[in-house]
Amino acid sequence: MRKTRIAIADHAAEAILFNRRIVFSVIVVLVLFLVLLLNLYQLQVVRYEEYSTRADGNRIKLVPLSPNRGMIFDRNGVLLAENSPVHSLELIPEQVADLPATVTALSALISIDADTQERFYKDVKKQRRFKSISLKEHLTEQEVAILAVHLHQFPGVTLEARLTRNYPYGDLLTHALGYIGKINEKEYQALEAAEVSANYAASRDIGKSGIEKFYESQLHGTVGYQEVEVNSRGRVIRTLRDQPAISGDDLYLSIDLGLQLKAQEALGENRGSVVMLDPRDGSVLAFYSNPSYNPNLFVHGISGKNYNLLLNSPDRPLVNRITQGLFPPASTIKPLLGVLGLESGTVTEQTRIPDPGFYRLPNVSRRWRDHVEWGHGYVDIYTGIIKSCDTYFYHLAYKLGIDKIADFMTKAGFGRPSGIDLHEENEGNMPTRAWKRAKHKQNWGPGDTINIGIGQGYWQATPLQMALTTATLVNSGGRITPRLARNFHNQQQDQSLLVPLEQAITVVDPNNWAISREAMYRTAHQEGGTARGAFLGATYTIGGKTGTQQVINIAAGQKYNAKAINVRHRDNAMFIGYAPHDKPEVTIAVVVENAGGGGSNAAPVARQMLDYYFSPQYNAPKLPSIAEIAVIQQQRYDAMVLREQAYAEEAAREKAAKEARKAAELQRKSGNAIIPDANSLPPQTLPAGQTSPAVATSTEQTATESNPSPPTTTEEKPIDE
């Protein structure tokens, strides 16, 4: 109470004290406002550029526009690869609350099989959450209609329409055209490494093989951009700038669709290949490898079932037999080897060599058999080629030596990449001394050279090389570079893709080349020629040479009996040729696998091809309609499935038979054993590999003394017709 009394207010002093506080407050307010202003000055003036850029970065987005892929036509302008619209069902995982539930609900509306769903979930894991992933592609019109009605129930699910590749002729051109498919991680990295990934900003697909891959950069076109303003949810408010995409260039092939259809027809159910070239400019007229497959399966995302079917088929449809199939070229090399003999002076037109049915090196007991057991008598170069006398060429090869042969044949086009416009090419093997030392750690022996004389032994060539070297023969040493594609076409200009002829071999006497061609002409047209039967009654002249390449060895003293051995161990039939004889326009190589002799199995295919080429129909082709092709393609697909079923059944039967033999063998052994109680030692305790070598006996392992083992995976052995 005392204190309160003492505390008497001094109003003047209070006012002064309060006003001091007010002044102090004003100063603080001013200082803090200044702080705010300085900071805002920093933001709005000093760092204006930075924030301005970031504001634009927020609102301006570049939307890439995908270019239309260049179309592909045959030499007459028939459309072989087109862009057609497809609808697909797409999901953006980020925007879908319950992914599995949504997928289940959608599959109740339209059928989405388990395979597709599995692939979808795999894609979901691989891709970023805000990117759209297709759940089902190639929706039918009915499916599109159903989905359009129900779409509003599924946030994050959209129907997309885009252009995709379609190959109307299905499996007819697959090995030439290849196909496109979704860009995978590896391809994307390659694009980034080549600094072209920006061009693919809107592209989903890329050439995976064939022409589509080889000419990818020009077919693809140039990406376009749309600069748009978006709001915070990414919705486009307006377009600021528009730079349209530039379509890829259209590509015209040198392939003729009519010939292609003819090749497919001529090969029928046989495995094999037909390749036809123009020796004047290297253009490829026909290019068909059988069996083939429908590339549209891959474009649309192939199902696991179909992919396994193609991958595991014993017919190997995925392999391009023309550029990847390796065969010893067999007797088809005889005309060229003859040219070398003449050019090098090792033999002359008149040189005659006795053929008792075999060839033997001096002081060596080993015999190289001729395909005619009793021989051809005295043989000159004409007979050697016309009748395909092995002994003549054993002798010639031995005299020439491997070095000369390898050098000449490599220049002609063997053992080297042909330069064709495909990435899928195997260069084969033209063996040399150095090659054998490096590969087999052995010296080249005289026997090796003798096998080379009939195009066998270590020699490996593709059917394309056979047709290509035939062109070299036709051109007297001028080597072509084969080209599936003739020219690109765009608004500005036509750009030819053909490569000029290269004089690879120096000619000593042009007549030497003419002699071999003359022999080939007689092979097809003269009594006794190996190809005469196939070309009887032809309205044009041709030069040809047959070849029969044995897949397995025939033991000395045994005879080849096609019926007795496994289908896949029967001889491969080959034929090379050119036509017309006096002014060649085409060269052709035909390989029919496991068909038997070349004269009776490969030459008739070439006959059909050439008949068509020289018929009036060639210039006025009657092509099947798209509907007809669709039916044919379905039939071919069904046939493939049936074939594969048969193969699988056969394999199962063989396996069962083998196991039964093994079991019988085991039982016999354990029965002979001294152990009294057979049951106490069950057969399973014996490891299968240790049972007995006799169990493993099979026909294909019969060895011959006459020939060394060639380096291929398949056991192909010489002996020729």
Partner 1 sequence: MSNQEHQTRWQRWHIDIPLLSGIVILLLVALFTLYSADGQDLVKVEGQALKMIFALGIMLFLAQIHPNTFRYWAIPMYIGGLVCLLIVEFFGYTAKGSTRWIDLGFTKFQPSEMMKLAVPMAVAWYMAKHPMPPRNRDLLTGFIICAIPTLLIAKQPDLGTSILIAMSGVFVLFFSGMSWRIIGVLVALIAAFLPVLWHFLMYDYQKRRVLTLFDPEQDPLGAGYQTIQSMIAIGSGGFEGKGWMQGTQSQLEFLPERHTDFIFAVYAEEMGLMGVMALLALYFFVISRGLIIASQAQDNFSRFMAGSITLTFFVYVFVNIGMVSGILPVVGVPLPLISFGGTSLVTLLAGFGILMSISTHKRMLANQ
- Give yes or no for a contact between 262 and 235, defined as CB atoms under 8 angstroms apart: no
Question: Residue 435 and residue 441: Cα distance in Å, rounded?
Answer: 9
Task: Considering the complex, state which of residue 94 and residue 638 has its C-beta at the smaller distance from partner 1.
Answer: 94
* Ramachandran angles phi, psi of 205, nearest 5°: -115, 160
Residue partners of 397: CB distance under 8 A and separation at least 6: 337, 405, 449, 450, 452, 453, 454
Question: Residue 94 and residue 306: Cα distance in Å, rounded?
Answer: 31
In the complex, the smallest distance separating the C-beta of residue 6 from partner 1, rounded to whole angstroms, is 10
Nearest CA among 100, 93, 101, 97 for reference residue 125: 93
Binding track over 618-657 against partner 1, x by CB under 8 A: ----------------------------------------
In the complex, the smallest distance separating the C-beta of residue 24 from partner 1, rounded to whole angstroms, is 9
Question: Residue 704 and residue 560: Cα distance in Å, rounded?
Answer: 13
Nearest CA among 469, 309, 350 for reference residue 405: 469
> Does 239 contact partner 1 by CB under 8 A?
no
Task: Considering the complex, state which of residue 28 and residue 311 has its C-beta at the smaller distance from partner 1.
Answer: 28
In the complex, the smallest distance separating the C-beta of residue 49 from partner 1, rounded to whole angstroms, is 9
Applying CB under 8 A, which part among 43-51, 531-539, 615-623, 692-700 lies near partner 1?
Answer: 43-51
Q: 691: buried, middle or exposed (CB in 10 Å: 19+, 13-18, 0-12)? A: middle
- Give yes or no for a contact between 285 and 275, defined as CB atoms under 8 angstroms apart: no
Which secondary structure element, helix H or strand E, spans residue 13, and what is its range? helix 11-41
Q: Name the token pair of 542.
A: 């041709």
Q: Which of residues 55-114 bind partner 1 (CB under 8 A)?
A: 55-56, 58-59
Task: Considering the complex, state which of residue 13 and residue 620 has its C-beta at the smaller distance from partner 1.
Answer: 13
* Ramachandran angles phi, psi of 368, nearest 5°: -105, 120
> Does 240 contact partner 1 by CB under 8 A?
no
In the complex, the smallest distance separating the C-beta of residue 21 from partner 1, rounded to whole angstroms, is 5
- Give yes or no for a contact between 578 and 470, defined as CB atoms under 8 angstroms apart: yes
Question: Residue 639 and residue 537: Cα distance in Å, rounded?
Answer: 34
Q: Which of residues 44-63 bind partner 1 (CB under 8 A)?
A: 44-45, 47-48, 50-52, 54-56, 58-59
Applying CB under 8 A, which part among 21-29, 85-93, 131-139, 281-289 lies near partner 1?
Answer: 21-29
Catalytic residue among 289, 331, 476, 516: 331
# of chain residues touching partner 1 (CB under 8 A) = 43
Applying CB under 8 A, which part among 232-240, 299-307, 499-507, 592-600 lies near partner 1?
Answer: 232-240
Among 5, 12, 35, 657, binds partner 1 (CB under 8 A): 35
Please name the amino acid found at residue 251.
L
Q: Is 706 a catalytic residue?
A: no
Task: Considering the complex, state which of residue 33 and residue 378 has its C-beta at the smaller distance from partner 1.
Answer: 33
> Does 129 contact partner 1 by CB under 8 A?
no
Applying CB under 8 A, which part among 38-46, 383-391, 669-677, 680-688 lies near partner 1?
Answer: 38-46
Q: Name the token pair of 558.
A: 């045994």
Query: 3-class SS at 374?
Result: coil
The CA-atom distances, in angstroms, between 554 and each of 328, 366, 435, 559 are: 16, 15, 27, 7
> Does 19 contact partner 1 by CB under 8 A?
yes
Q: Name the token pair of 73.
A: 């036509």
Applying CB under 8 A, which part among 34-42, 72-80, 161-169, 593-601 lies near partner 1?
Answer: 34-42
Task: Considering the complex, state which of residue 231 and residue 667 has its C-beta at the smaller distance from partner 1.
Answer: 231
In the complex, the smallest distance separating the C-beta of residue 102 from partner 1, rounded to whole angstroms, is 25
Among 1, 12, 13, 694, binds partner 1 (CB under 8 A): 13
> Does 237 contact partner 1 by CB under 8 A?
yes
Residue partners of 342: CB distance under 8 A and separation at least 6: 348, 349, 381, 509, 512, 515, 516
Q: Which residues are catalytic?
A: 331
Residues that bind partner 1 (CB under 8 A): 3, 7-10, 13-14, 17-19, 21-22, 25-26, 29-30, 32-33, 35-37, 39-41, 43-45, 47-48, 50-52, 54-56, 58-59, 229-233, 237
